[in-house]
Amino acid sequence: MASPRRERAYLDYNATAPLRTEARAAMAAAFDLAGNPSSIHAEGRAARAIIEEARRAVAELAGVAPRGIVFTSGGTEAANLALGPIGKAIRLIAGAGEHSCVLAGHRFPPGAATLAPLGANGRIDLAALEAALDSDGPAMLALQGANNETGVVQPVAEAAALVHARGGIVVCDAVQLAGRTPLDDPTLGADFIILSAHKFGGPKGVGALIPTRPELSVGSPMLRGGGQERGARAGTENVAGISGFGAAARTARAEAAGEAIRLAALRDRLEARIFGAAPDVVVFGAGAPRLPNTTCFAVPGIAAAMLLMRLDLAGVAASSGSACSSGKAARSHVLTAMGVAPELAAGAIRLSLGWASREADIALFDEAFAPAVASLRKRRGAA
């Protein structure tokens, strides 16, 4: 006789979110279409219609016109596509806490990319940014809307004003914003926005690079061929994935305002449980504006790997930071940029909520976390 399925709490939405019902249904319908969206016959036009409907839905989520949106294989490709010399912006300034797809994926030549430092609260140092902008002509700034590890929301509008006053361009990685908060204010002033469908309930493997004004276009395309996506990204489009992206975008936009309030309340209850079990816990970025769904913390003296293992065995899925860096021994570059001591950074745990998170997840975490901390502290004291 099979053992009963154990209840689990999924608290790793910043890595990926479960697929929304609406996205699954849209993809299932798209799988039944035979046509290539570049073909002019009825089947091809039906596939093209699905793509353009999804493009409109993503545009509405981002608050922009749909025409210039380029669908990609995800946020990483969108970042690689965006981050190259455009016009007079022949150098790059990136926030020191940017995702690795920005720090390692840009197409600027060696020596043409520099980092803008973060303050202890995780936000970009605007004075240092201004000094960097004044040093050597117009620049492209890559700045996250919100950090994937800490949830700290960046001052995109203020940074964009500095960049634009000097003839530069701003690319905003808004991957962690969508589905957690309305996109309008956090990305205000950005010239390009990057989204990834699977972070808010769409399918994995599809994203978008979104210009905020119709006259903006990317520089040199990376993929050349048949001229799809108006020449910006060649290759037959992922019709089913794009359809799921659009469906998730429509739902996320409809729920955005209420979801931000709901997630913030859940996150606050989650942090109350953490402080209840470990009063000496350190929450990174606690003094800055943060995403309503994210908390990143460390319990002094407890290694992240040990705590994550205990939580997983007790039915709680959490992470120690970016999923793209999991399994690597290197210290978080985000926490390093914030000046966090190495021994504290080694204990960093990230919990992130999303569209299917419920109060039961908080309760299950509480049941797992307090005993895990107590056990690990007892073990450390006996060592």
User: By C-alpha distance, which of 63, 87, 85 is closest to 212?
Assistant: 63
Largest CA distance in the chain: 74
Sequence spans of domains, the chain: 9-17+257-382, 21-251
- Residue 224: what pLDDT? 86
Which of the following CATH numbers is that of domain 21-251: 1.10.3720.10, 3.20.20.210, 3.40.640.10, 3.40.50.970? Answer: 3.40.640.10
Helix axes 239-277, 21-31, angle to 10 degrees: 160
Alpha-carbon distance of 266 to 250, in angstroms, equals 23
- Residue 3: what pLDDT? 39
| 284, HSE (Cβ side, Cα atoms, 13 Å) | 35
User: By C-alpha distance, which of 218, 264, 240, 182 is closest to 106?
Assistant: 218
- pTM for the whole structure: 0.93
Q: Which residues, at least 6 apart from 197, have a Cβ–Cβ distance to it below 8 Å? A: 23, 74, 203, 204, 206, 207, 241, 244, 245, 248, 249
Give the bridge partners for 193, in sequence order.
Answer: 172, 210
Q: Which of 101, 172, 296, 324 is catalytic?
A: 324
Give the bridge partners for 173, in sequence order.
Answer: 144, 194
Alpha-carbon distance of 267 to 378, in angstroms, equals 28
For this structure, is 324 an active site residue? yes
- Residue 78: what pLDDT? 96
* CB-based contact 295:274 (threshold 8 Å): yes
**Residue 322 pLDDT class (50, 70, 90 cuts):** low
Domains 9-17+257-382 and 21-251 agree in fold: no
Class of domain 9-17+257-382: alpha beta
Tell me what the mean pLDDT of segment 71-92 comes to. Answer: 95
Task: State which amino acid sits at residue 173.
Answer: D
User: Each residue of 236-290: pLDDT tens digit?
Assistant: 999 999 999 999 999 999 999 999 999 999 999 999 999 999 999 999 999 999 9
